[in-house]
Amino acid sequence: MRLVLRSLVLTALLSTPVLAQDQYSVGQFFKDLDRGEISTVQVDAYGNAHVEVRGGSPQNTVIPTSPDVLGRIRASGAELTVVGGGRSFGWIVQLLPVILTGLILFVFWRSMRGGGGGGASNTFGRSRAHVFSEGQVKVTFTDVAGCDEAKTDLQEVVEFLRSPERFHSLGARIPHGILLVGPPGSGKTLLAKAVAGEARVPYFSISGSDFVEMFVGVGAARVRDLFDQAKKAAPCIVFIDEIDAVGRKRGLNFNGGNDEREQTLNQLLVEMDGFESKHDIIVLAATNRPDVLDAALLRPGRFDRQVVVDAPDVRGREHILKIHARKKPLDPSVNLTTLAQRTPGMVGADLENLLNEAALLTARDGRGKITMRDLDEAADRVLMGPARKSRVVPEHDKKVTAYHEVGHALVAQLLPHADRVHKLTVVPRGGAAGYMLPLPTDRVHYTREVLEDSIAVALAGQAAEEVTFGDITTGAQSDFQKATNIARKMVTEWGMSEKLGKVANLSESDTFLGPVAQQGAYSQLTAQTIDDEVKRIIDTQYTRVRTLLQEYLPRVHAIVEELLVRETLSGEEFQTLLSGGRIEGGGMYAAGD
């Protein structure tokens, strides 16, 4: 602010007509005047004088403007001209900083008062919630898929908001708050909107970070204002997104003093606990970190119920794809079931992004309908990154990549508990020189056989290099990380080691943002045993894979030759080649045809 005032004062001073006086002093002026060497004097009301000196150049100076001085100039024979006239306003320049300071303080005061009438409340204490009036939210449960159990739990809330008197007559108390927990992008916010759209009640939406400001007490004031507005609009829904931003556990502030975040949380606890029966307000909140929320926030009477909105299964993913594909022109050949099968772990936001990528690819090619090829390419872009077809790969490296990926694919296709091949390619994509894409199976439980086959598939790439070339490369880095992680969990978490027995030496807490490993307390001898068991599992599967590849080595050579020509093979084409068939043009021929 000081810099702004200084610049404004300087601007005002520069706008005042002050003439230069560095080279012609007032003393020299009077000497030249007494000698009769000045012919013309032009002076303004501020004393700024422009002087014409006989035989010399014009000069500027500042002289007194008293009647005696003016009479002395006229008596010398010089021509005197007074311009501007009137009284001096130099006092305005002196008061300019004070005037500007007062103006800025007045503007700041009006902004604090809301910029409106004098009775407006302080804007810092106002809630920043987005308010949707009754019927304005058009989202319903038909627009939400992949979370049928969550919709069933929330249907009770809809019924209460539609006819609260039916519940009140029975003495029933609807949960004050419902906490939606799940990974990012799983549809928690969309589900909250659907509840408001189904119930056709006012909907207040705010983020947890909107409560907290740098000013002390603002967060608590905003909480009070939000619930005051909600009570006037009851029955209604208040939705707090990312509530972990304001609802974290108290007592973790090591800086001392009062924490603004804790004051905001305390006010939120008071408001949720202070509902009267006539205030039919449902508080919905969303978070992907339920483990960090304060215990007082989760007790009965506040957030009475937790609804898990987890990643959808294959059927849920198919329904989500159908919803997002309603406004997109799909070719009749598109099979959303297959697309749902190859996208395990994806949530609604990921699937919507996948369909959007496919639409962009279709528009880029100038076509009018989205094909299965576009969806397949879009899925690869989302998972692996764009294809790097312009990258120059030496022939030997390309051949090594082909054997590596065919090794993965062959073992995956032959082992009984492994995921089958969906596609394999030697086209570089993202940071990979090539890849084998399996068609994963949604499982709830993983047996020892499933885990061992998964390790074997991961190790098959480097095993194929060693069997074929007698040497290995650095291309199996991520494969070994995957195999080692599975083997270590088998030993430390899942009790699948006979030496260690049914003991959990490592635990993970799932926060919907990825597992967080916590090492247990065990001796150095146990640590050595864990390492030995992990190595034993990996060595056993590596030996198993090498034996399988050596048995099918002639078939591996034939598939690699075809892959180097075509660069990409689908799962059906790979199975045809593995069975001894051939591929000619666009058709596939089985062995013996």
E strand residue ranges, 426-493: 435-439
CATH code of the region 395-589 = 1.20.58.760
Cβ neighbours for 175, distance < 8 A, ≥ 6 positions apart: 157, 282, 303, 304, 305
Q: Are 387 and 428 in contact (CB under 8 A)?
A: yes
What pLDDT is attached to residue 514?
62
DSSP 590: -
Q: What whole-number distance in Å separates Cα of residue 196 and Cα of residue 161?
A: 9
79-83 and 38-44 beta bridge pairing = parallel
Say if CB 415 and CB 430 are below 8 A apart.
no
Neighbouring residues of 182: CB distance < 8 A, sequence distance ≥ 6: 188, 288, 308, 309, 310, 311, 512
Distance CA 43, CA 49 (A): 4
Alpha carbon 503 to chain centroid distance?
39
The sheet carrying 130-132 orders its strands as 130-132, 203-207, 236-241, 281-287, 177-181, 303-308
Nearest to 480 by CA among 527, 517, 535, 441: 535
Cα–Cα–Cα angle for 547, 552, 555, nearest 5°? Answer: 155
pTM for this prediction: 0.68
264-282: burial string, b at 16+ Cβ within 10 Å, e else: bbbbbbebbeebeeeebbb
Q: What does the CA dihedral 26, 29, 34, 39 come to, rounded to 10 degrees?
A: -150
Cβ–Cβ < 8 Å for 281, 238: yes
What are phi and psi for residue 356, nearest 5 degrees? -65, -40
Sheet bearing 568-570, strands edge to edge: 435-439, 420-425, 568-570
Bridge partners (DSSP) listed for residue 177: 283, 303
| Distance, CA of 11 to CA of 32 (rounded, Å) | 35
Which whole-number Å values give the CA distances from 443 to 76, 278, 314, in the listed order?
Answer: 112, 47, 10
Taking CA atoms, 567 is separated from 148, 425, 438, 459, in Å, by 41, 6, 17, 22
Cα 18 to Cα 47: distance, rounded to the nearest angstrom = 9
In CATH, the architecture of 124-308 is: 3-Layer(aba) Sandwich (3.40)
Residue 111 parent element (H or E): helix 90-112
pLDDT at position 215 is 62
- Which pLDDT score, from 0 to 100, does residue 467 have? 93
SS (H, E, C) 482-509: HHHHHHHHHHHCCCCCCCCCCCCCEEEE
Residues 6+ apart with CB under 8 A from 259: 250, 253
The third-level CATH classification (topology) of the domain covering 321-384 is: Helicase, Ruva Protein; domain 3 (1.10.8)
Q: Is the dihedral of CA 297, 298, 304, 309 positive or negative?
A: positive
- Of 153, 233, 248, the closest CA to residue 200 belongs to 233
User: Active site includes 405?
Assistant: yes
Measured in degrees and rounded to the nearest 5, phi and psi for residue 569 equal -130, 135
Distance CA 205, CA 190 (A): 11
Could you give the CA distance from residue 138 to residue 128 in angstroms, rounded to a whole number? 22
> Which amino acid is located at 117 in the chain?
G
- What lies within 8 Å, CB to CB, of 373 at 6+ separation is none
Q: Among 15, 94, 92, 28, which residue's Cα sits nearest to residue 63?
A: 28
What 8-state DSSP symbol labels residue 243? Answer: G
Fold of 2-90: 3.30.720
Q: What is the pLDDT of residue 418?
A: 93
Cα atoms in the Cβ-side hemisphere of radius 13 Å centred on 231: 14
Helix (H) or strand (E) holding 195: helix 188-199
Delimit the domains of the chain by residue range. 2-90, 124-308, 321-384, 395-589
Residue 66 CB: number of other CB atoms within 10 A? Answer: 10
pLDDT recorded at residue 103: 84
Tokens of 198: 């189904």
> Closest Cα partner for 562 from 582, 579, 548, 580?
582
List Cβ neighbours of 523 (8 Å cut-off, separation of 6 or more): none
Catalytic site residue from 260, 405, 452, 573: 405
What average pLDDT values come out for the chain (593 residues) when binned by 10 residues? 42 42 73 84 82 84 82 83 61 70 76 45 61 80 87 85 80 82 89 88 87 73 88 87 87 56 85 66 89 87 87 90 91 90 88 93 92 90 80 86 94 93 87 85 87 95 94 90 94 89 72 62 86 95 95 93 90 89 62 45
